[in-house]
Chains A and B, each alone.
Chain A
């Protein structure tokens, strides 16, 4: 028993060290990459791109479900984006409120007979409407399919551009976000098949007329911690994975894909829990299986601002769902592991996800249990345990502060001193008890998935109107 506990404690130590070293490596790669990205940005002038004949047409697909309070502002925001050839498709996904009526009134919608070819699986469509105010707006009114994937598929079936940009209707895109996210595609249209943008936390910021007026850090601790998490995940994680063409997720809140490719794999999987992750995984499988030379990019500067959960219950539910989504994708794709045919994805990205994302809550919770047991049985070296704890804490803080630094030297959206001080403070505070709670939520997600509980439950959100400046 004692021997077993010793082995367990050592495993935990090495696991933790490896996970942090992986993140440290990613931090270094990300710092280097963003410096290069900043330099390359200087080669382009957005004003040229805005009128560039080389900019391919793009269709934005925004699924909306019961968004009556914010839909006007959200759609106006999308229509006002800077891009030469833009089509906006809003999918009213069986809303039970007045979402469609709001749009009808604001954009003077009239029924049309637009081309709709159901290549991707979706619930029945009730009608198609085009705006008389802005001809580039098409509204697809459909029955509820019970998932965002189903709604996006309906948009995909009506899209008429070679590229589609999937966004959340309740997110706020910066005006030049599309131009920025299309850089890699315009630079290498043959190889680049998808591009992911960065998602930032909207809570606390001020919005005016659908546009972000002032970026501020949220007031609630729980939301600030999520700001750090997002910075770490996007500015370090995705930046580094994207650099090695190993990006396995493009957030469903903001990503661009080649339309024909997404259609060729049947669009989003309607029953997928993490539909965004699932789509990218299927794209990798499809393209690697065919031996295609392709690239999936991440671009850190086209910003999409989204609301994050502000209470523990919603956050817990969201994180549990993410964990379910992870397992839901990794398990069916387990045959990709270590298969040379699937290149870096099969040899590095997926094994990393299995080891450091999927198993993380299991390992950490098991670790805590064995440490407690070892302490009770008197076999725990208290000195070593304390040192390990301090090391883990300090090391994890380095990564978090690194992500804040990355934000500081690149995009610097938090201008107030007060915000930066708070952000840095939370880099130290997020480890207790948030991290442990997070592990429990994730563990719960795994447990629910194994029990077959995969039902989607809506999160409590305040909506765009909460950030609206009066």
Chain B
């Protein structure tokens, strides 16, 4: 007997369309069925989970103290998952004492051991889940299992291991990650690696230095960025080697880190970096100089104020405004640059910090200098226009003076 498909073929050119119709209708049915079943299942699952979470929450203290034998819930995977997720969520927000209590519970109930086992032996999404959960426990005994995950051939597993290690926020995890990137290079996207390293290196940023020295290419950039974020004063001498580095990111990192360094050293280094050919290195240097908040930085900040890059100018102006020193002499220096972009940046920063009134008072109270000079400064402050420009503007209009062409 002829099959339905043979009949369809015999229909000639129309058969293609007919088959396509059948396929499209079947596809529609499948899609609809999937949506329907998925919704129904989720509704049932969440209702069941919600009821169980409520029940377990009622006995939470007895449960984690071991008063309720662990065996009563450990045997049931549904209950075990709920207990674990409640404990891990609590751990995220817990203080030192509560963390210790929860960690003790996780250890004694065997949940950590179970996760270590799963992270080592399972495959696919189950292993990923185990790796992340293990990281959430912040238990140091789980680090080696997560480090094994870093060396997996599956990039998703590697990412999960990285997430897990990042969540431990411990130097031991940082050592594992750095050893791994040293061996394999950048084999995961930069963002998760940066996040994990920032978390883990915060306590001991010096771990990064040898790795940055030996790394190459994009990995070096990533490590440089992390170093810039986590560097502390104790690293200032180590960071000096990167001031003249070929890699822009590293010079920027050094500039950023210098805000934590010993002041004398920082000024010399940052003065050099303010003249860097790359704008974001100069930007970092100016921000760091601003954070030092020292009048000694004024000449370099003035240089930043006349920079070719708008962001550098704005940040330099903000730093100048925030200096805890007399404002009138600084304003005088700003005018002396004869840079109208710089002047506008300074006035913007002044307005944003609501310090315009303070400068006006200082100018009024200023006894040094002659009256003509005071009038000139006052006029420039009011109009925002350098005197040389005045002839260009036919009439005074404070709003117009903001628009530079």
Chain A residues with CB under 8 Å of chain B are 39-40, 42-44, 48, 52-54, 111-118, 125-128, 130, 132, 135, 160-162, 183, 186-188, 383-384, 387-388, 390-391, 394-395, 397-398, 401-402, 404-405, 408-409, 417, 420, 424
Q: How far is the CA of A391 from the CA of B26 in the complex (A)?
A: 12
Stretch at the interface among B74-82, B289-297, B322-330, B344-352: B344-352
Given contacts A113-B351, A130-B351, is CB(A160)–CB(B404) below 8 Å? no
Q: Is B314 engaged at the interface, CB distance under 8 Å to the other chain?
A: yes
Residues B27 and A116 in contact, CB atoms below 8 Å apart: no
Instruction: Give the residue of B38, B192, B198 whose beta carbon is less than 8 angstroms from that of A43.
Output: B192
The CA of A413 and the CA of B402, in the complex, are separated in Å by: 45
**Interface membership of B9, Cβ < 8 A:** no
In the complex, the answer to whether A113 meets B384 with C-beta atoms within 8 Å is yes
Give the residues in chain B near A160, CB-CB below 8 Å. 310-311, 314
Q: Which of B17-25, B47-55, B108-116, B174-182 lies at the interface? A: B17-25
Give the interface SS of chain B, mostly helix, strand, loop or mixed. helix
Once the chains bind, are B314 and A115 in contact (CB under 8 Å)?
Answer: yes
Cα(A53)–Cα(B403), bound, Å: 32
Report Cα–Cα, A395/B26, bound state, in Å: 10
Name the segment of B28-36, B61-69, B268-276, B388-396 touching the other chain: B28-36
A-B interface, 7 closest residue pairs, ranked by CB to CB distance from nearest: A394-B24, A187-B191, A112-B351, A43-B192, A127-B399, A401-B31, A387-B17
**Complex CA distance for A48 and B191, rounded to whole angstroms:** 12
Asked whether, in the complex, the Cβ of B189 is within 8 Å of the Cβ of A391, the reply is no
Contact for A162 among B189, B311, B313, CB less than 8 A: B311
A44 and B341 form a contact (CB under 8 A): no
* Complex A-B: 23 CB contacts under 8 Å: A39-B156, A43-B159, A43-B163, A43-B192, A44-B195, A53-B198, A54-B198, A113-B344, A113-B351, A113-B401, A116-B344, A117-B404, A132-B354, A187-B190, A188-B191, A384-B17, A387-B14, A387-B17, A395-B24, A397-B24, A397-B28, A398-B31, A402-B31
A241 CB to nearest B CB, Å:
21
Q: How far is the CB of A6 from chain B (nearest CB, A)?
A: 12
- A54 x B310 contact (CB < 8 A): no
Q: Are B34 and A405 in contact (CB-based, < 8 A)? A: yes
Q: Are B25 and A128 closer than 8 Å at their CB atoms?
A: no
Q: Name which residue of chain B comes closest to A119, CB basis.
A: B310
Contact A186 to B398, CB < 8 A, known contacts A115-B348, A118-B403, A162-B311: no
State how many angstroms separate the Cβ of A393 from the closest Cβ of chain B. 8
Residue from B163, B344, B351 with most neighbouring chain A CB atoms (10 Å): B351
Check A54/B229 contact, CB under 8 A, given A114-B348, A187-B191. Answer: yes
**Contact A42 B132, CB 8 Å, known A186-B191, A391-B17:** yes
Asked if A408 and B35 sit within 8 Å, CB to CB, the answer is yes
8 Å CB interface, B107-160 against A:
132, 156, 159
The chain B residues found within 8 Å of chain A, CB to CB, are 13-14, 17-18, 20-21, 24-25, 27-28, 31-32, 34-35, 38-39, 132, 156, 159, 162-163, 189-192, 194-195, 198-199, 225, 229, 310-311, 313-314, 341, 344-345, 347-348, 351-352, 354, 384, 398-399, 401-405
B residues within 8 A CB of A132? 354
Rounded to whole Å, the gap between the CB of B90 and the closest CB of chain A is 16
Which residues of chain A come closer than 8 Å to B38, judged between CB atoms? 408-409
Q: Are A387 and B403 in contact (CB under 8 A)?
A: no
How far is it, in angstroms, between the C-alpha of A113 and the C-alpha of B343 when the chains are bound?
10
Taking A388-B17, A398-B31, A409-B38 as contacts, is the C-beta distance between A128 and B402 under 8 angstroms?
yes
- For the complex with contacts A44-B191, A113-B344, A387-B14, 14 further pairs of A-B residues with Cβ separation under 8 Å are A40-B189, A44-B192, A48-B195, A52-B195, A53-B198, A113-B347, A113-B401, A116-B344, A162-B311, A384-B13, A384-B17, A398-B28, A417-B39, A420-B35
Which residues from chain A contact B163 at a C-beta distance below 8 Å? 42-43
Contact of A116 among B21, B225, B351, B402 (CB under 8 A): B402
User: If the complex has contacts A387-B14, A390-B21, A417-B39, are A116 and B404 also in contact, measured as CB distance less than 8 A?
Assistant: yes
**Interchain CB contact (< 8 A) of A113 among B192, B229, B348:** B348
Given A53-B229, A115-B341, is A128 in contact with B310 using a C-beta cutoff of 8 Å? no
Partner of A126, one of B27, B190, B399: B399
Given the complex, which residues of A lie within 8 Å of B314, measured CB to CB?
115, 160
User: How far is the CB of A164 from the nearest CB of chain B, in Å?
Assistant: 13
On whether the beta carbons of A43 and B191 are closer than 8 Å, the reply is yes
Q: Tell whether, in the assembled complex, residue A125 and residue B403 are in contact, meaning their CB atoms are under 8 Å apart.
A: yes
> For residue B345, which residues in chain A have a CB less than 8 angstroms away from its CB?
115
CB atoms of B402 and A113 under 8 A apart: yes
Contact B399 A387 (CB under 8 A): no
A48 (CB) vs chain B CBs: closest residue: B195
B13, B189, B310, B354: residue with the most chain A Cβ atoms closer than 10 Å: B310
Give min CB distance, A447 to chain B, whole Å.
Answer: 33
- A116 x B35 contact (CB < 8 A): no
Is the Cβ of A117 less than 8 Å from the Cβ of B190? no
